[in-house]
Amino acid sequence: MTPDEPREDPGEEARFRRLLAERLPRHSPPPRLRATILQAAAPPRRAFWWAPVLSALATAMVLGLVALPLLPRTVEPDPFRSMVSAVLSQHARSLMWGEARPEAVPAALPRVMEQTGIGLSWLFQGDDEIQLINAEPLVVEGRRALALTYKDTEGHTLTYTLLPGAGMTLPKQGRVKIDGYQPLLTQIEGWSIFVWKQKDLACFLISDLVSEQDLARFKQVFLKVRQGTEPPPQS
């Protein structure tokens, strides 16, 4: 810029704007003007309405696969365990409601055996240490059974139950060796139970002899009962 050129007044534009602001009327914008402008300026939106649905379905499938091994499975009942539980329940019932009638057992035993269909010519009927106090017919898991109740000199009650053993397989685990025999020994809720197969019969001997010392006595009782149930030797 040369000295001869007129200078522009720096305050001229400011004075002009101030004059316009003072002279021109002011009007408030419509209420929805701002929203309309923002909506027009925004990029177009696509309606991906199925995205949340697909996400939820995928999440449900993953959770289902994770939880599937944790769901309870339907397990077929074990015939052996079911029979042991049923015989044990009958033993508990006998302790509560059974009637001791040792004097009537010898005469009643043939009739009871006939009612159960268990025909044995020789059963252990007690000795000086163990007394046979009752014999009764039962139905255990749909099978006719014979239950003999004994009491030893220390007041322990034992139940010897015999029933048809068809279809019942004894596990190999838990077997104990007693003078050439190998019965299964299991302990459930404070009870000791010997289980064995004799011909076509399943045999259960139950008592409350559970300690190590008591089990030694219980094994001797098993021997008496087991050997006393064998058919008598042929002469």
Give the model's pLDDT for residue 235.
42
Pairing of strands 191-198, 184-188: antiparallel
The 8-class DSSP code of residue 1 comes to -
How confident is the model over 42-65, as pLDDT tens digits? Answer: 565 555 555 666 676 767 676 666
Neighbours of 126 (CB within 10 A): 20
The closest alpha carbon to 158, from 103, 197, 204, 117, belongs to 204
Q: How far apart are CA 149 and CA 122, in angstroms?
A: 16
Mean pLDDT, rounded, for 2-19:
58
Cβ distance 187 to 209 under 8 Å?
Answer: no
The closest alpha carbon to 184, from 173, 168, 169, 200, belongs to 173
Structure tokens at 100: 């001791």
Mean pLDDT, rounded, for 130-158:
93
Where exactly are the structural domains of the chain?
Answer: 79-228
Mean pLDDT, rounded, for 88-97:
88
> Looking at per-residue confidence, does 208 or 105 come out higher?
208
**Confidence band for 105, pLDDT divided at 50, 70 and 90:** confident
Cβ distance 87 to 206 under 8 Å?
Answer: yes
Cβ distance 139 to 116 under 8 Å?
Answer: no
Mean pLDDT, rounded, for 188-213:
93
pTM: 0.66
Mean pLDDT, rounded, for 73-96:
82
Mean pLDDT, rounded, for 107-120:
86
Residue linked to tokens 């040369």: 2
- pLDDT over 60 at 156, yes or no: yes
Among 13-27, 114-128, 221-235, where is mean pLDDT lowest?
13-27
Q: How far apart are CA 143 and CA 50, in angstroms?
A: 61
Fold of the domain built from segment(s) 79-228: Phosphorylase Kinase; domain 1 (3.30.200)
Side-chain-side CA neighbours of 213 within 13 Å: the count stands at: 0
Structure tokens at 47: 């309606």
Cβ distance 206 to 158 under 8 Å?
Answer: yes
Side-chain-side CA neighbours of 51 within 13 Å: the count stands at: 4
